[in-house]
Chain A
């Protein structure tokens, strides 16, 4: 069931493993799983080189350091590592971009896809920071804590996502 050389596990197995990660998150770190605030930690630390006054912004200062912030940065670094190992063990490494995009958008150049990815990444994290959480922080962790704000944010996320996906792409 958990063969590392398999190219896919059932989404149920994979989801249960993510849910079980709440145990070390709550018991060792004292927080729930989340990923999007690490973008603030990384970008604010990098921006310091260009604009040292960023530390005067309270929001940046709150994210610059400390065990919980660096834990989450390490968490997202670990995701890269885990996915790298997993894809190599199963012989499904990827490169370029997925053939899915040609199916959803018709013929297009890599440059167009990279521009879309950059724009999408910007919008995605900007929105996640306004909502104070993303698919993991509000979705997986917030709903598991029955937080009202997370029910609202996840409903808005799926509603806007469903409308956008049906508007801008061909149905695949």
Chain B
């Protein structure tokens, strides 16, 4: 595929992705941090919905031979250390590497700083990778290991079963904590201020 075609496809897919991130409200730092405080679950609901849909889509694509999986290699130390550092960064920034771009689109100015910080983080990694980080990165390397291989179950069957479990969990989660309450009166993940009546809080400018 030509680079030009790839860019056009990327822009179109990204526009849909960005719209979903904005409408799903995970473009709000409050939604992300409250998820990490485990007080509200809009982010987890959207995340698990995307995973369940992906499992079903890939079960079909792989089952009928339309596509091949491209799972990332299992790098035990890198996955744990990198994943943990990522989690700390997400909480400090109030964004993920993808959702920060949706924040920029909605107009949040702090997101531009998050993005620039991210570029420097990528650059720091690039310079450190060959000499300093290699020992971490290559400890516990198991190649492209997947759960279906480990269990000896065909991917489509396991994927559909796992999707069913996730959907069950989501049904329960929605019952316990309805999403419309979780996003708050101003749809920014900020709950009603107990000090203010709800109507005043909803009318307050979101500065």
Contact = CB atoms under 8 A, between A and B. Distances in A.
Contacts of A16: 49-50, 53
Nearest to A104: B33
A52 interface: no
Interface string A37-50: 00110111011000
What 10 pairs across the A-B complex have the smallest Cβ distances? A78-B14, A19-B53, A15-B49, A82-B18, A120-B93, A131-B82, A121-B117, A124-B89, A14-B24, A74-B10
Interface residues of B, number: 142
Contact of A162 (B36, B115, B122, B148): B36
B44 to A, nearest CB: 8
A153 B52 CA distance: 18
A87 B22 contact: yes
A54 B11 CA distance: 27
Chain B, interface SS category: helix
B25 A15 contact: no
Contact of B92 (A119, A133, A150, A162): A119
A46 B98 contact: no
Interface of B: 1-3, 5-30, 33-34, 36-39, 42-43, 45-58, 61, 66-67, 69-76, 78-111, 113-127, 129-130, 133, 136-137, 142, 144-148, 150, 155, 158-159, 162, 170, 174, 179-180, 183, 186-191, 193, 204, 206-207
Contact of A135 (B11, B90, B180): B90
Contact of A100 (B17, B28, B101, B130): B28
Given A124-B90, A136-B96, A67 B6 contact: yes
A8 B101 contact: no
A83 B66 contact: no
Given A86-B105, A103-B30, A135-B99, 14 more contacts: A12-B174, A15-B51, A90-B23, A94-B188, A100-B94, A125-B122, A128-B82, A130-B81, A146-B148, A147-B71, A153-B82, A161-B91, A165-B33, A171-B37
A85 B33 contact: no
Q: Is the interface of A mostly helix, strand, loop or mixed?
A: helix
Given A11-B179, A132-B78, A136-B98, A161 B90 contact: yes
